[in-house]
Structure 1
Amino acid sequence: MSDVKSLKLHELTMLPLNPIKALVRRWWWKRAESHYLICADVEQERVREAQQNAAYFQKKAALARSQWLGMH
């Protein structure tokens, strides 16, 4: 029984690390890609909100300008 365990352990230690490194690298890049796609979505939402805010304040400025012109 102990020979079987030591044989399996020996087989495991003799495995090349390249497939494991490639697996970890793929996982890491996939995780990074997902993270940056989420960041891009968040930034796009911020841009949309900023555009809506700008349009809102431009409308308010136009209304104030028209009321001021109407008074003079």
Structure 2
Amino acid sequence: MPREQKIAFGEMRDSGVFRVVVFCRDYRCSDATHLPVDGWPDHVRLSDIEPRFVCKACGKRRADVRPDFQHPKLGAH
């Protein structure tokens, strides 16, 4: 079964969102952090980076990365 393709960083920035929320995939852990998206190229999708994360709380690999709609960049239009 193919993996879901999520939005690309360029598309996300174009819509005014400049941070992501990274959730641990282990429902028992549920650790999360917020990260800026400045370091990733426009063509990279959120789903492309999910396998790269390792949870600092529980040590499990993979994450669920989502746009952080709660914290748009100040002054962005």
Shared fold (TM-score, shorter chain, > 0.5):
no
Normalised by the size of structure 1, how large is the TM-score? Answer: 0.20
Q: Which structure has more strand as a fraction of its residues? A: 2
Greater relative CO, 1 or 2 (CA 8 Å, sep 6+)? 2
Q: Which one has the largest radius of gyration?
A: 1
Normalised to the residue count of structure 2, the TM-score between the two structures is: 0.19
